[in-house]
Structure 1
Amino acid sequence: MTTTTTIYVVEDDTLYREQIIHYIEHYHSNTFRYKLSPLDNHLLFMEEIPTLNISDNDIFFLDIDLKTRYSGIDLASQIRQINSKCNIIFMTSFEDKAVSIINSGIFPLGYLVKNPIDATEPKATIETVLMKVESLTKSAWRSDLDIITFVNGYESIYVNCKEVLYIESLKRLKNRVLIKTLTEESVIEGKIGKIKKTLEQPYLFLSLQSYIINLENITTINRKNGTITFTDDQDLFVGTRIIDKVKKGLQDYQYA
């Protein structure tokens, strides 16, 4: 599961903003896809906030002193009215701002203290912040019953079962399983029988030897062609015998 996270950088110093963006663009993650917001005018950002669709994973780098009629703290207060969980990092030249910000109920994830002497400090802070965001998100995933973790070699892959269309055992590749979701297609090491033992979601049909089918994401079943059509018009050919089992499983699930 790849999570897309939008990052906002609100900073009145153009060169410093470009430096922050450079470090973000060169940060690599296997699980998160970072997208920088095109909103770059700090003078208009307050007016833009009500129009934003802010997710819990989104990140705001806010300069406290914007040299305008409002501060980064004012922006953060408005952002918190829309989303209480998103990640806010304050950029400041003064370390003593922290207590007043916490007391105002904003509870930022961290602070980036501008250091004109050490140019590598922003890079280290940004990497720490992004790793912390990923760690907190993965902790939330682990407590979500719809999200399961696959170990693929040395890598952990998180999959939201609600987004799964089907999981298929690949006959030509020994101990390889295809996971097809609404947005991704992944091949991992493993056996489908062992995967079934880890799944408790009632909408996943586990009675087939080589497939796991998400009954919630089926849109049509064509017995004549032996195909199952899922959300977004994605087709899976399984043959008539399997079609009959899936139809029975879907009927039992709908009337359970």
Structure 2
Amino acid sequence: MRIFIVEEQLVQITKEVIDAHQYPFDIHLVTEPAAILRDIGELPNIYFLTADSADVAWQIRELDVHGYLIFFTDCAGALDDIVGQYIAPTAYIVKQEEISRSWDDIAFALQSVFSREILRQNTNCFVFDNENRVAYEDILYFETIPRTRKVMLHTRNGTYIIADFLKNIKAKLASHAEFSGVNSYLINLNNVTRIDRKNGVIAFKGDAQIHAGRRVITTVYKDFQSQFLH
């Protein structure tokens, strides 16, 4: 994730905060707020903006709905204008006469960004073993590894071994209607391309497929129809 900074005087102190907390942020200095729009790249990002760049902030928000807007101003009174724009800033920072005195404010803002981004990523990802994350949209299916207390997770990009029972994973994903399963499988219906009930085959995006028993095929087929064909 990049931090777009317009004011050069903020670069060094921001770098110190990043280094102190080992945040995975890269600084990208631009010459003017409008330059951000030309180089916005991968999303989301963090944007250090001045109080008079609300118009650009609106355009950034349209492009980066999950981006983090942090406004800097020399005058606390200018914050009222920013609040009135309804562009969901992450933080407002009133710059001190000595920029080094803004260290704590910048640190607090970046801590907020880091925490919110972890939460946002976890909301869109299946998390296992406390640190591994796979986007739900990339999951093909889970299957029990026979005679073990482990599960194999098949994704578009590879496989993972999870030290857990499938029943626990099913419970964890119970609120996700796109997952269907019975017996030793849990299948992401969003990535199913074909269900061959006659031959007991479920095919997925990317040419992966499984051969399953009648009960699994019947359950998944029923859930697939309910999810997409009603």
Summarize the Cα distance change of 1:175–1:81 in structure 2 as closer, same or farther, 3 Å threshold.
Answer: same
What do you get for the CA RMSD once the two structures are aligned?
4.3
Partner of 2:112: 129
**Structure 2 CA distance for aligned equivalents of residues 227 and 18 of structure 1:** 58
Partner of 1:164: 139
**Structure 2 CA distance for aligned equivalents of residues 204 and 183 of structure 1:** 19
Q: Please list the CA deviations of residues 89-119 of structure 1 after superposition, one character each: whole Å capped at 9, or x if unmatched.
A: 1123434432221123334210234442437
CA shift, 1:183, in A, is: 5.2
Tell whether the 8 Å contact from 2:181 to 2:219 is kept in structure 1 after alignment.
no
Summarize the Cα distance change of 1:102–1:18 in structure 2 as closer, same or farther, 3 Å threshold.
Answer: same
3-state SS of the aligned residue for 1:105?
Answer: coil
Summarize the Cα distance change of 1:168–1:10 in structure 2 as closer, same or farther, 3 Å threshold.
Answer: same
Structure 1 spans left out of the alignment, 5+ residues: 1-5, 65-70, 142-146
Tell whether the 8 Å contact from 2:17 to 2:107 is kept in structure 1 after alignment.
no
Structure 2 spans left out of the alignment, 5+ residues: none
Partner of 1:252: 222
Tell whether the 8 Å contact from 1:89 to 1:110 is kept in structure 2 after alignment.
yes
Summarize the Cα distance change of 1:82–1:215 in structure 2 as closer, same or farther, 3 Å threshold.
Answer: closer
Indicate whether 1:216 and 2:190 are aligned: yes
Tell whether the 8 Å contact from 1:63 to 1:72 is kept in structure 2 after alignment.
yes
Summarize the Cα distance change of 1:206–1:84 in structure 2 as closer, same or farther, 3 Å threshold.
Answer: closer
**Structure 1 CA distance for aligned equivalents of residues 94 and 156 of structure 2:** 41
CA shift, 1:11, in A, is: 1.4
Partner of 2:10: 16
Tell whether the 8 Å contact from 1:178 to 1:186 is kept in structure 2 after alignment.
yes
**Structure 2 CA distance for aligned equivalents of residues 229 and 130 of structure 1:** 40
Summarize the Cα distance change of 1:178–1:107 in structure 2 as closer, same or farther, 3 Å threshold.
Answer: same
Identity %: 20
Partner of 1:7: 2
Q: What is the one-letter code of the residue matched to 2:37?
A: I
CA shift, 1:61, in A, is: 1.9
Tell whether the 8 Å contact from 2:45 to 2:64 is kept in structure 1 after alignment.
no
Q: What is the one-letter code of the residue matched to 2:78?
A: K
**Structure 1 CA distance for aligned equivalents of residues 160 and 94 of structure 2:** 40
- Aligned match of 1:49 in 26, 30, 37? 37
Number of equivalences: 222
Q: What is the one-letter code of the residue matched to 1:73?
A: A
- Aligned match of 1:178 in 133, 152, 161? 152
Summarize the Cα distance change of 1:98–1:149 in structure 2 as closer, same or farther, 3 Å threshold.
Answer: same
Summarize the Cα distance change of 1:169–1:61 in structure 2 as closer, same or farther, 3 Å threshold.
Answer: farther
TM-score (norm 1): 0.61
Indicate whether 1:110 and 2:80 are aligned: no
Q: Please list the CA deviations of residues 126-159 of structure 1 after superposition, one character each: whole Å capped at 9, or x if unmatched.
A: 43232342376379x3xxxxx687674xx38776
- 1:70-109 equivalence runs, <5 A: 71-82=52-63, 86-109=67-90
3-state SS of the aligned residue for 2:142?
Answer: strand
Partner of 2:180: 205
Tell whether the 8 Å contact from 1:24 to 1:126 is kept in structure 2 after alignment.
no
| The structure with more helix, counted as a fraction of residues | 2
**Structure 1 CA distance for aligned equivalents of residues 79 and 205 of structure 2:** 47
Tell whether the 8 Å contact from 1:62 to 1:88 is kept in structure 2 after alignment.
yes
TM-score (norm 2): 0.67
